[in-house]
């Protein structure tokens, strides 16, 4: 059959952790699967766009910046972050619709790909006769939990929340109560209902893409692929297409990379809590003193402290300040001169992780960070903060054996001794050597999945074929 080139429109929701994987998917569709690609970026501040320019080479991509949307006056100040993102996305829909309908390059848009926060755009895409895809920039395990939620018996959810029993997910590992999602803790509550709605929208899409690969998560990808295991409820196929991660792009080296150039191989621990992660001032002090105590070289990305909100910088990584160094314990920067580097607000993470001098990563376990660490062959100290990060932490420490996990203190502070011990377990101890070996094997398996005969390449090719046949049949 003669097939035609398809045009995918990708909609990225606010937050660097959402934008980066969508941009990487766009690059992959463009360079390996002959798609025509347009990416719409929804941001809330201009600083996000500026940081994105520094972070990713976007020159090959057709990017449309949705004018910044500020919903802060429409919500109470302590509104959950998910609600803020959803409202922002809702307000972007009129612009999105008019922009898509006025695209007059050929081929015309034939598929819309959204992330978990862009689901509100799917009815519009159907209305415009476009195929619909949901992209989970998460583990397959998390995707399975979310999708299964659409059909899960409410009684099971209640038992999980009330009796603290593990949540059984057909074909996958159960979710332990201590790793569960906040939304699951109050069945019938607003967040729970919002998740249920999202799950129902997702299963109705023409296809689902997940940023993982079969060899990393054999059981969960099988459960998703075979679908029947989870209840046979998704309308379209589920494709594991990863690991799609940002790679170092070369170019001019900043101060931190120049400093890394002068350090021995695998001697530096990189400490970062993602694009949004923030800590209390007390916790920052313990991290600082713990790093000193560990006697290891380090690179630490610091943000101004934020009491009681672990995702405090999610919307605006720059947080309206030039530097966060002033919040560190007195004398810390001077005492650690030559041993460590403190980077304020934002660091070139992909470049740091890929640098030969980097030997460990203290991470909040955002999925992009986990994949970037694996793809750089770097073992981790897992320190989850919010969202599905506890599930990711469980996976890397208990299942994959490539991380040690910080014991949570139920909202309390993790002390300096524990920080130092975790760092040394990865950087110095025999345990670290074993983890490093394992993570390097995973790196190779991820690379294999993406090569021409690999499982993820094959999955994305199938999705491409589906789109091309749709274009041909509908003479778009
Ligand atoms: N990132 C970065 N520099 C920073 C912090 C984060 O380049 O200082 C990038 C990181 O490489 C990753 C993304 O931002 O690609 C964060 O995504 P992740 O899923 O790890 O966490 P989130 O920020 O969504 O919690």
pLDDT of residue 276: 76
417 and 469 in one domain? no
Ligand 1: atom nearest CA of 372 is: 11
Residues 437 and 347 in one domain: yes
> Do 46 and 173 belong to one domain?
yes
Along the chain (476 residues), what's the average pLDDT of each consecutive run of 10 residues?
81 94 96 95 73 70 89 82 88 96 90 97 97 98 93 89 93 95 89 90 95 97 81 84 91 93 98 88 95 98 79 55 79 95 93 98 98 98 93 98 90 92 98 98 98 97 96 85
The pLDDT value given to residue 140: 97
The answer to whether residue 196 sits within a structural domain is yes
The closest-lying atom of ligand 1 relative to the alpha carbon of residue 276 is 23
Answer yes or no: is 1 within a domain.
no
Residues 201 and 75 in one domain: yes
The reply to whether 328 and 390 lie within a common domain is yes
Spacing, Cα 201 to ligand 1 middle (Å): 27
Tally of domains within the chain = 2
214, 155, 234: which is closest to 188 by C-alpha? 155
Residue 115 known to be catalytic: yes
> Which entry of 36, 115, 316, 457 is annotated as an active-site residue?
115
396 C-alpha to center of ligand 1: Å?
A: 17
Report the b/e string of 297-309 with b at 16+ CB within 10 A.
Answer: bbbbbbbbbbeeb
For ligand 1, the distance from its centroid to the CA atom of residue 130, given in whole angstroms, is: 31
Long-range contacts of 397-403 (CB under 8 A, 24+ apart): 399/173, 400/216, 400/438, 400/442, 401/434, 401/435, 401/438, 402/374, 402/435, 402/438, 402/439, 402/442, 403/379, 403/435
Q: Which atom of ligand 1 is nearest to the CA of 389?
A: 25
CATH number of the domain bearing residue 428: 3.40.50.2000
Ligand 1 pocket test, pick from 13, 14, 16, 300 with the greatest ligand atom count within 8 Å of Cβ, gives 16
How many beta carbons lie within 10 A of that of residue 171, not counting itself? 18
Report the separation in Å between the CA atom of 275 and the middle of ligand 1, taken as the mean of its atom positions.
Answer: 5
* H or E element that contains 232: none
Closest Cα to atom 8, ligand 1: which residue?
A: 346
**Structural domain contains residue 2:** no
Q: Which residue is closest in CA terms to ligand 1's atom 2?
A: 349
Is 123 domain-assigned? yes
The CA-atom distances, in angstroms, between 115 and each of 22, 45, 334 are 8, 19, 43
**Which residue range(s) make up the domain with 266?**
255-445
Which atom of ligand 1 is closest in space to residue 370's alpha carbon? 20
Give, as one character, the DSSP assignment of residue 406: P
The pLDDT of residue 144? 95
Predicted local confidence at residue 315, as pLDDT: 55
ipTM strictly over 0.95?
A: yes
pLDDT score for 259: 98
Please state, in angstroms and rounded to a whole number, the distance separating the CA atoms of residues 165 and 174.
9
Atom of ligand 1 nearest to the CA of 387: 25
pTM of the model: 0.94
State whether 199 and 292 are in the same domain.
Answer: no
Please, what sign has the CA dihedral across residues 457, 460, 466, 468? negative
The closest alpha carbon to 302, from 280, 282, 284, belongs to 284
Looking at the fold, whether 192 and 54 belong to one and the same domain comes out as: yes
Please tell me whether residues 210 and 318 are part of one structural domain.
no
**Ligand 1: residue whose CA is nearest its atom 23:** 275
Six-digit token string for 467: 């789109």
- Ligand 1 centroid to residue 274 C-alpha, Å: 4
How far is the centre of ligand 1, averaged over its atoms, from the C-alpha of 363 (Å)? 10
Residue 340 falls inside a structural domain: yes
Residue 278: per-residue pLDDT: 81
* 457 and 406 within one domain: no
Residue 385 CA, closest ligand 1 atom number: 25
Is residue 242 domain-resident?
yes
Residue ranges around ligand 1 (CB below 6 Å) = 15-17, 20, 55, 246, 272, 274-276, 301, 346-347, 349-350, 366-369, 372
H or E, element range at 282: helix 281-294
SS3 224: helix
Do 431 and 469 share a domain, yes or no? no
Answer yes or no: do 465 and 414 share one domain: no
Q: At what angle do helices 416-427 and 281-294 cross, to 10 degrees?
A: 40
User: For residue 176, is it within any domain?
Assistant: yes
Q: How far is the CA of 369 from the centre of ligand 1 (A)?
A: 6
Domain check: are 285 and 225 in the same one?
Answer: no
- pLDDT for position 310: 63
Q: Is residue 264 part of a domain?
A: yes
């Amino acid at each position: 059959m003669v097939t035609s080139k398809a045009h995918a429109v990708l909609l990225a929701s606010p937050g660097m952790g959402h934008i980066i994987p969508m941009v990487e998917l766009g690059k992959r569709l463009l360079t390996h699967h002959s798609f025509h690609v347009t990416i719409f970026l929804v941001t809330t501040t201009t600083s996000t766009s500026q940081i994105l320019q520094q972070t990713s080479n976007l020159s090959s991509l057709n990017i449309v910046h949705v004018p910044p949307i500020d919903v802060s006056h429409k919500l109470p100040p302590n509104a959950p972050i998910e609600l803020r993102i959803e409202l922002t996305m809702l307000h972007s829909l009129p612009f999105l619709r008019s922009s898509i309908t006025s695209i007059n390059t050929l081929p015309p848009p034939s598929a819309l790909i959204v992330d978990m926060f862009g689901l509100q755009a799917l009815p519009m895409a159907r209305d415009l006769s476009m195929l619909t895809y949901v992209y989970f920039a998460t583990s397959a395990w998390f995707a399975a939990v979310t999708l299964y939620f659409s059909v899960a018996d409410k009684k099971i959810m209640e038992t999980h929340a009330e009796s603290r029993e593990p949540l059984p997910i057909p074909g996958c590992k159960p979710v332990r109560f201590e790793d569960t999602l906040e939304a699951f803790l109050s069945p019938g509550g607003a967040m729970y209902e919002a998740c249920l709605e999202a799950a129902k929208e997702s299963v109705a899409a023409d296809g689902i893409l997940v940023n993982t690969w079969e060899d990393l998560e054999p059981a969960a990808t099988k459960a998703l692929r075979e679908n029947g295991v989870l209840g046979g409820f998704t309308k379209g196929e589920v494709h594991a297409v990863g690991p799609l991660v940002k790679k170092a792009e070369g170019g001019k080296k900043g101060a931190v990379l120049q400093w890394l150039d002068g350090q021995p191989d695998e001697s530096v621990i990189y400490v970062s809590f993602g694009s949004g992660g923030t800590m209390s001032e007390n916790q920052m002090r313990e991290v600082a003193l713990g790093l000193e105590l560990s006697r290891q070289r380090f690179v630490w990305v610091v943000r101004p402290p934020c009491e009681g909100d672990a995702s405090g910088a999610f919307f605006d990584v720059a947080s309206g300040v030039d530097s966060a160094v002033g919040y560190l314990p007195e004398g810390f920067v001077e005492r650690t001169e030559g041993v460590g580097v403190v980077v304020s607000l934002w660091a070139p993470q992909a470049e740091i992780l890929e640098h030969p001098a980097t030997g460990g990563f203290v991470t909040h376990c955002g999925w992009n960070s986990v994949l970037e660490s694996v793809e750089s062959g770097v073992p981790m100290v897992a320190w989850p903060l919010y969202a599905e990060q506890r599930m990711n932490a469980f996976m890397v420490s208990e299942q994959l054996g490539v991380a040690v996990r910080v014991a949570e203190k139920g909202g309390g502070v993790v002390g300096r001794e524990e920080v130092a011990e975790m760092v040394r377990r990865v950087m110095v101890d025999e345990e670290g050597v074993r983890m490093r070996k394992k993570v390097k094997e995973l790196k190779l398996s991820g690379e294999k999945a993406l090569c021409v005969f690999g499982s993820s390449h094959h999955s994305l090719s199938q999705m491409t074929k589906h789109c091309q046949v749709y274009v041909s049949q509908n003479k778009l």
